[in-house]
Amino acid sequence: MVVCACGVSLKIHDMEAHLKGRRHKELLARENATSTGRKLSNGPVSGPPSKVPAPSTSRKDPAPTPSHNGSSPSPSWARPQRNRAQPRAPASSYRCEICQIRLDNLEGYLRHVESLQHRQTVTRASAPVGDKDAPPRGVFCIFCETNVPTHTFASHRQSPAHVEKERVAAMRAEVEEAASDKKGISISPPDGSVDFGVLEIDETLGSSVTQSVVMIISNTQSTGRVALTEIRLASSARKNSRGVSFSATLVGKSQSIEQSSTRSALVLFHPSYEGRYEDTVEFLFHDTRGDERFVITRRVTAIVGSEEDYDLLKPSAPYAKPIVRPLEPEELVIPGLRPPTWSDVRFRNPLPEYPPPKDLIDAAYGRNGWKEVKSRFLPRIFDVISHAKWFQVLLHIEEEKQRRNLDRYSQSGVELRPDYPRYSLKVKGLLEKRPSIIVGDTILAKRTDTDGPWFEGCVHAVRGDTISLRFGDEFNTYRGKIFDVRFKLNRMPLRRMHQALLAWGAAPRLTFPGPEHASYGLVDPMLVDAIQAQLVNRTIAQDKEQLCAIAAIVNQPRGSAPFIIFGPPGTGKTVTLVEAIRQLLADPDARILACAPSNLAADTIALRLKDIGPSQLFRMNALSRALNDLMNISPTLKPFCQINGNSVFAIPPIEDLLRFRVIVSTCVSGGIPHGVGLKRGHFTHIFVDEAGQASEPEVMIPIKSMAGDHTNVVLAGDIKQLGPIIHSTISPEFGLSRSYLERLMARNIYNLHERMGITVVKLLSQHRSHPSIIEFSNETFYDNELRPCGDHVITHSLLSSGVLVKKGFPVVFHGITGRDLREETSPSFFNIEEATVVKRYCEDLLDEHKSLKPEHIGIISPYHAQCVKITNILQKKYKDIKVGSVEEFQGQERRVIILSTVRSNLNFVKQDIRQTLGFVANKRRLNVAITRAQALLIIVGDPVVLSLDPTWRAFLNLIHKNGGCRGKEIDWDGNEAVDYDGGVAAYAQQRRTTAMKDMEEMIVRLRAHVAARTNDSVPFQEPDSDVESDGDAYEDTPWREYD
């Protein structure tokens, strides 16, 4: 319902006719006789008008606001707000503030707003002005939730998008009206919904006890009686009282509900699987006094799950989108002190600051940022000459976005506890790495409510959710003093990227390699045989692609184009890379720099090379890396690292670095050798593993800072798996989210059909997974070229497991309808229903298979909040089960992988439901998640939501075809071809159309009942003495009564 300017409450779809009616004009005239002056503001509207839930006779609404577009007066939900501070106008006068004239009466005013003069004035007033940051002018459309220029509002209302939203709003209003009590009949509960609560799985599924809820129907009329002619469930195919999962019935034989009496109705719940259920109960009444029919509806919901899990995992507080306010710049900052535990490092090549240009940041984050960046700051073309400048522009934009994201974690009114000479600060979300803080980072602190200076504090230690800070000597505090705190972005990685991009000029053979940089052919087969004879890792001997790659790398001419090892999941790209390093070390002059985007991936390389000894291998770590991080993951690497007396990683002097034959580090730390003075060209080979995960500027740090004219570069990775993590929405449009590996593989020199074995090798032997687990990825992403070669002792070890739906098929899709939730200010989603199912699978697997250990199970979810919730319910019994994001699992494997997809939002009527999938609808993320499992893959998710994405739909079709589905069934034809061309938009539109149709059918059904003639109704059954009492009807059924 909405309230018109004349004070009448009515339904939205009746507004148009009302505005043209006589009653509307008479009420407007009467209102103006006693009202204040009217100001027809053309400025911004502060927000949508309030919706009135029920009819009102109040005249507190603003007086009429005639339209500014030359048509009839605008409806109340689309008019500019008037200025209540205007002086009182003479009675019966009307003023147009746009034209600055006063009219004597309503008729004259209406003629004026339809005049050409008025429309021209409105057009000029609504035109953009000089200030591009000024708020838009016009009227606020409550359906589209946007300001619309006044002169275009009429055409806006005719647009398909607006018409659709207005139609949806009208239908929703009608559905909401049906849920209201009326004609003296009320149904408990009065809030419009019946909730069974959380019902335990073991007590509900397969139980002989039927769960039920009692609803009390009250007739508060003083005279007359009402008949309940029918009860229906909206989901019922036959439109009767038995729906898909609920049914309802009136207790007793008679349909009559006498005046001032009550009756009881039973709603029964008969579930078939875990998860959330919902339906609508329709009560159809006949009022004998006025011979009228009416309908009252109640929504009914239930959850089959674990009440204990719900109590543990429920939101700690309602979700509230954090309010992001611009922070005032820090004008005066007093520097802090670096951690004294750090060893001094003599950097011979200083690292410049590379501050972001203000005009670039203002343009990128102003209006039309994408166009501004392209036209004003990026080079006209991306080539060898513009390579460095191109990426520098994108890095500056990305840095600003990271800085703004970090500003969201700023705190106000917090206490810094003295622990002289340091101070401790508790940081909410630190355990979840939100924000992520490491030793060496800085924060700024200023006393709250003062204009004093900001003090820079350096993080000296991180302990749980508390950081230890060291400020300069000027800083002091005492108990009870509170501060504002800001976290500062660690710019060092970005600065190293800038420095590397500018190093060594254009370097065309590295940035844009062509045929001239790879004029050689295939390796002589005799050289391949020679490599095979001297393999260190003998398991490679039977893998012809791995042998081909190693032989090509070893025999590649010095100063060639980069060589690429394209390694799909489980094909052993890191094994191949490490063996190539071992073969190169046969040359006493060989010097290797091996890098990876993460410490975990770098540790993996070092672990596989540790048998060459600490005199030849050095694992170079950043000073900021915590020693515990290494000791928890790879403690055997400690002898290969340099650690000072304070248990902090250190960088050896240049003389010591020169003695190592292999240095392993992250890509960012790959700039340290250049910083301490190692000359470009010192390394004969530079290897980058997991190169597809790193941005191009990040990979350039070790390559352009250390590669000489004769240094060969080897990249290993998979362009079908996860790419770089980029925060800005502008930079990816210009290539920052595209890895160096992916860009090179798009060049002709890396064509797999023409250059296989020369510049690129695709590994094809899949050594990880059961053939059924890898089948979908093989067909979808790798042209069906992968050959399953896994160890049957592992890959076939769970083919008879009790958790399988079909024996022999080790893939399970557990369909469940849950609810994706958020809490406090965290944007990450979690799903309690799915967490419960995941826990139960872990329990069942470990109880059934004694040889299976918790460390053999991995749980993946694309949402951090879900990882935290699952960890909370597993930590007591199964703390060794790894729970993490897709990113954390790339490069890893487990005997069993359980994937929780989380998203389950079924509000398909809203205009854009593509966001329902979130970043679950990411092909690369899906590919990584489902290829980590060796013997068993379990996916838990909502099939209806997942089916919006074509790739997910195809995957679910494959599982369904092989008999691997349980729980909520798919509701589409699994044999039907998937529409990849239409994509998510096409399937989303299908769901929305179906949901709209269901709502329309419900409205038509309810209207038909109200409009039916009396003689078509079911005859009353008069009450008699034989009517069963409510208490006798279902005495053996457990009831939950709502009063």
What is the Cα–Cα distance from 307 to 198, expressed in whole angstroms? Answer: 6
To the question of domain 771-978 being in CATH 3.40.640.10, the answer is no
CATH topology (fold) of 179-305: Immunoglobulin-like (2.60.40)
What is the Cα–Cα distance from 431 to 435, expressed in whole angstroms? Answer: 9
Q: Structure tokens of 107?
A: 């008729």
Evaluate if residue 693 carries a pLDDT over 90.
Answer: yes
What is the Cα–Cα distance from 114 to 1000, expressed in whole angstroms? Answer: 37
pLDDT at 132: 37
pLDDT-based confidence at 127, cuts 50/70/90?
very low
pLDDT-based confidence at 109, cuts 50/70/90?
low
CB 900 within 8 A of CB 869: no
Q: Considering only 270-274, 701-705, 981-985, which range has the smallest mean pLDDT?
A: 981-985
Q: Structure tokens of 618?
A: 């050095």
Residues ≥6 apart with Cβ < 8 Å to 77: 2, 12, 15, 48, 49, 51, 142
Most confident of 288-297, 440-449, 670-679: 670-679
Q: Is the peptide bond before 421 cis (omega within 30 degrees of 0)?
A: yes
- State the chain's mean pLDDT as an integer: 84
pLDDT-based confidence at 53, cuts 50/70/90?
very low
Evaluate if residue 773 carries a pLDDT over 50.
Answer: yes
Evaluate if residue 92 carries a pLDDT over 50.
Answer: no
pLDDT-based confidence at 615, cuts 50/70/90?
very high
pLDDT at 631: 92
- As a whole number, mean pLDDT of residues 942-960 equals 94
User: Counting Cβ atoms within 10 Å, is residue 272 exposed (0-12), middle (13-18) or buried (19+)?
Assistant: middle
Residues ≥6 apart with Cβ < 8 Å to 860: 884, 885, 886, 889, 897, 898, 899, 900, 929, 932
Residue % of the chain over a pLDDT of 90: 57
Q: Helices in 33-149 by DSSP H: which ranges?
A: 106-113, 116-126
pLDDT at 994: 84
CB 820 within 8 A of CB 913: no
| Other C-beta atoms lying within 10 Å of the C-beta of residue 911 | 11
CB 852 within 8 A of CB 881: no
859-900 pLDDT per residue, tens: 999 999 999 999 999 977 898 999 999 989 988 999 999 999
Q: By C-alpha distance, which of 741, 743, 737, 709 is closest to 724?
A: 737
- Find the farthest-apart pair of alpha carbons in the chain and give their distance in angstroms, rounded: 107
pLDDT-based confidence at 246, cuts 50/70/90?
very high
What is the Cα–Cα distance from 810 to 812, expressed in whole angstroms? Answer: 7
CB 839 within 8 A of CB 310: no
Instruction: Please tell me whether residue 997 adopts helix, strand or coil conformation.
Output: helix
- As a whole number, mean pLDDT of residues 23-42 equals 49
Backbone angles phi, psi at 571, to 5 degrees: -95, -5
Most confident of 48-62, 86-100, 1008-1022: 1008-1022
- Token pair 């006025």: residue: 290
User: Counting Cβ atoms within 10 Å, is residue 663 exposed (0-12), middle (13-18) or buried (19+)?
Assistant: buried
For residue 977, give the amino acid letter.
A
Q: Helices in 8-138 by DSSP H: which ranges?
A: 15-19, 22-32, 106-113, 116-126
What are the start and end residues of each CATH 2.60.40.10 domain in the chain?
A: 179-305
Q: Considering only 342-356, 659-673, 693-707, which range has the smallest mean pLDDT?
A: 342-356
Q: Is the peptide bond before 318 cis (omega within 30 degrees of 0)?
A: no
pLDDT at 59: 35
pLDDT at 339: 79
User: Counting Cβ atoms within 10 Å, is residue 323 exposed (0-12), middle (13-18) or buried (19+)?
Assistant: exposed
pLDDT at 88: 36
Strand segments, DSSP code E, in 518-616 are 563-566, 592-596
pLDDT at 633: 85
- As a whole number, mean pLDDT of residues 301-313 equals 94
Instruction: Please tell me whether residue 208 adopts helix, strand or coil conformation.
Output: coil
What is the Cα–Cα distance from 330 to 1009, expressed in whole angstroms? Answer: 67
pLDDT at 735: 96
What is the Cα–Cα distance from 220 to 260, expressed in whole angstroms? Answer: 5
What is the Cα–Cα distance from 386 to 380, expressed in whole angstroms? Answer: 9
Q: Considering only 171-185, 592-606, 703-717, which range has the smallest mean pLDDT?
A: 171-185
Distances (CA, A) of 533 to 557, 609, 798: 22, 20, 37
Q: Structure tokens of 626?
A: 């915590």
Strands 685-688 and 94-96: unpaired
pLDDT-based confidence at 151, cuts 50/70/90?
confident
- Token pair 């990249």: residue: 715
| Other C-beta atoms lying within 10 Å of the C-beta of residue 573 | 25
- Treating both helix axes as pointing N-terminal to C-terminal, what angle do 492-502 and 696-706 enclose, rounded to 10 degrees? 60
Angle at the Cα of 797 from the Cα atoms of 792 and 803, rounded to 5 degrees? 145
437-476 pLDDT per residue, tens: 888 899 999 999 888 899 999 998 888 889 999 998 888 8
pLDDT at 635: 94
What is the Cα–Cα distance from 158 to 982, expressed in whole angstroms? Answer: 26
Q: By C-alpha distance, which of 205, 94, 309, 168 is closest to 837?
A: 309
What is the Cα–Cα distance from 43 to 470, expressed in whole angstroms? Answer: 51
Q: Considering only 180-184, 205-209, 357-361, 822-826, which range has the smallest mean pLDDT?
A: 205-209
- Treating both helix axes as pointing N-terminal to C-terminal, what angle do 923-930 and 771-781 enclose, rounded to 10 degrees? 160
Q: Structure tokens of 944?
A: 């209806």
- 5 or 115: which leads in pLDDT: 115
pLDDT at 986: 85
Q: Provide the CATH number for the domain formed by 559-752 in this structure.
A: 3.40.50.300
513-571 pLDDT per residue, tens: 999 999 898 999 888 999 999 999 999 999 999 999 999 999 999 999 999 999 999 99
Evaluate if residue 573 carries a pLDDT over 70.
Answer: yes
Q: How far apart are the first and last CA of the chain?
A: 28
Q: Structure tokens of 896?
A: 């069993």
What is the Cα–Cα distance from 20 to 75, expressed in whole angstroms? Answer: 11
- As a whole number, mean pLDDT of residues 961-965 equals 97
- As a whole number, mean pLDDT of residues 987-999 equals 83
Helical (H) or strand (E) element with 837: helix 832-848
Model confidence, pTM: 0.82
- 284 or 1021: which leads in pLDDT: 284
814-854 pLDDT per residue, tens: 999 999 899 988 888 999 999 999 999 999 999 999 999 99
180-198 pLDDT per residue, tens: 998 889 998 877 789 999 9
For residue 735, give the amino acid letter.
G
DSSP string across 921-971: S-HHHHHHHHTSEEEEEEEEE-HHHHTTSHHHHHHHHHHHHTT-EEESPP-
Evaluate if residue 33 carries a pLDDT over 60.
Answer: no
CB 281 within 8 A of CB 300: yes
- 246 or 1005: which leads in pLDDT: 246
- 702 or 89: which leads in pLDDT: 702
- As a whole number, mean pLDDT of residues 355-372 equals 95
pLDDT at 364: 96
Strands 685-688 and 592-596: parallel
DSSP string across 615-627: TTEEE---TTS-H
- As a whole number, mean pLDDT of residues 922-933 equals 94
Q: Considering only 231-235, 390-394, 478-482, which range has the smallest mean pLDDT?
A: 478-482
Strand segments, DSSP code E, in 324-376 are 333-334
Q: By C-alpha distance, which of 285, 171, 310 is closest to 997?
A: 171
899-925 pLDDT per residue, tens: 999 998 766 545 445 555 666 678 999
